Structures are given as structure tokens and as C-alpha cells.
Amino acid sequence: MRSSGFLYVFALCAAVLAGCGGGADTDAGQPAGAASAGVETKSRSSDRTASVTATSAPSAADAATAVPVGRLLASNCFHCHGTDGHPNGGFDSLAGDSASEIVKTLQEMAAKSPEDGGIMRAHATGYTDEQMWQLGSYFAGQR
């Protein structure tokens, strides 16, 4: 049963990456869409890491439809805490909580030992302080 949960998370992550265009290389060795977006790439053959540099500024239309960073980060929280911070089950509601309280809680979770922190420790240790504030601000703005 545990492996089916892993497969669900893996499939979810793959879908998110596919939706944002991440993770797929074209035959030319450039990330998908790089040639049409005016993006230069450099690749090291030893580890296949890519450094992407934009050669043009995003258009006004792109800026108008951009998803806030806090919401993108919060997509990791949606399964348990709900897309708007209102969970369906027995999880804590995050909607309308102050950003500082959410950040404080995340920092406390990140500081716990692996045995005591559970899944929230795993999530919290993955965020920088700036990302925690972006998450907190997103959920604080939900009503």
C-alpha cells in the first residue's frame, strides 16, 4: 500500500513538471521550447546540467497571466490543506492565518528531528526562509 502512495506522488510531480515544461529535453539538447522562446542553453556533457539565460524580456501578456510564486509553492500543500487553504478532512486550515504564524510553524517543523517531524518536516526543510514567507503570504490572502 505504501508504494501506491509513492506512485501517486511521483505521478503528481511528473504532471506538474510536464505542465510547466520542465524536465524534457529535445533532440537538439535544448530544453523544450527553448528555440522558440529565444533562450540560450549551455550544457555540460558530464552531468547534463543546463544553464538557461533569457535573451528577451517577458511580454506584458506573460506577466499578466503569471501565477504568483507563493501559489506555485503552495501546490505542494494542496492535497492535505486544500487549494484555497480550506481542507476537506482533518487537516489544519491555513486560509487567513497570518503569514508570520505560518512561517513560524514551518520553521518549527523544519527544526524537528526526522522521527518527530513526520511529513511536515520533510516539506518544511525543502523551503528557504523566503519561500516560507511566500507560502505564508499566499495562504494569509486566502479567505
Residue 69 and residue 84: Cα distance in Å, rounded? 15
- The helix (H) or strand (E) run that includes residue 93 is none
Residue 133 and residue 70: Cα distance in Å, rounded? 8
Q: What is the pLDDT of residue 120?
A: 92
61, part of any domain:
no
CATH number at residue 134: 1.10.760.10
32, part of any domain:
no
pLDDT means per 10 residues, the chain with 143 residues, are 52 56 45 44 43 55 75 90 89 94 95 89 93 94 90
Q: What is the pLDDT of residue 106?
A: 95
> Which residues constitute the domain of residue 89?
68-143
Expressed in angstroms, the distance from the first to the final Cα of the chain is: 35
Asked if residue 38 lies in contact with residue 54, where contact means CB atoms within 8 angstroms, the answer is: yes
Q: What is the pLDDT of residues 61-93, one digit of tens each?
A: 666 677 788 889 998 899 999 988 999 888 999
102, part of any domain:
yes
49, part of any domain:
no
Q: What is the pLDDT of residue 68?
A: 81
37, part of any domain:
no
Domain count of the chain? Answer: 1
Interstrand relation of 50-54 and 39-43 (parallel, antiparallel or unpaired): antiparallel
